[in-house]
Amino acid sequence: MNHEQEMLKSAQQVADLLVQQERMLVTAESCTGGLIGATCTELSGSSAWFFGGLISYANDAKVKGLSVAEATLAEHGAVSEATVKEMCGGALQLGGDVAVAVSGVAGPGGGSPEKPVGCVYIGWQLLGKEAEVVRFQFSGDRKQIRQLVVLEALQGVKNRILAER
């Protein structure tokens, strides 16, 4: 199974859980540029469980669209646990019950010794709960890294919903 097929399979699993629980997913995407939302909306009937999301590629979009504090970006940078945590909260302010947020370095440029290409923070937050953010180090080209982020993001949504049961 290739990454695209895996992404759709993961999205379907998330969809099934969200529909059962009458919940909606909301996304806040930076390095994936909307690929999580695009994957979700590949599935027919996604409007029953996918609220939508914000592609907050520029820092200004994170501030204006997701209420990420300018001080957080100045102190920690866009690719950080603190920023992704605030992105989750901002996404839930837009709507939905389950948020996933991503920010990272998809490459091929833009990396640093501290945050090399493939460094991605993924965050999840269920309405009424604290956000959880995990740092990942993916490898591959830009397309592969973005696809792996989508897979991990959706798997994380599924795992957090199942853990809540």
DSSP for 39-56 reads HHTTSTTGGGTEEEEEE-
8, 42 contact by CB (below 8 A)? yes
What residue type is 75 in one-letter code?
E
State both tokens at 126: 């269920």
User: What is the pLDDT averaged over residues 104-114?
Assistant: 94
Pairing of β 50-55 and β 98-104: unpaired
- How confident is the prediction for the chain on average, in pLDDT? 97
In the chain, % helix, strand, coil (3-state, to 5) comes to 50, 20, 30
64 — phi, psi (to 5°)? -75, -35
What domains lie within the chain, and their CATH numbers?
Answer: 3-164 (3.90.950.20)
Around Cβ 141, how many Cβ atoms within 10 Å? 12
**pLDDT tens for residues 138-160?**
999 999 999 999 999 999 999 99
pTM reported for the whole predicted model: 0.97
**pLDDT tens for residues 57-81?**
999 999 999 999 999 999 999 999 9
**Cis peptide before 108, with omega less than 30 degrees from 0?**
yes
Residue 1: its pLDDT value, please?
81
State both tokens at 34: 């909307």
User: What is the pLDDT averaged over residues 93-114?
Assistant: 96
Alpha carbons 143 and 3: distance in angstroms, whole number: 10
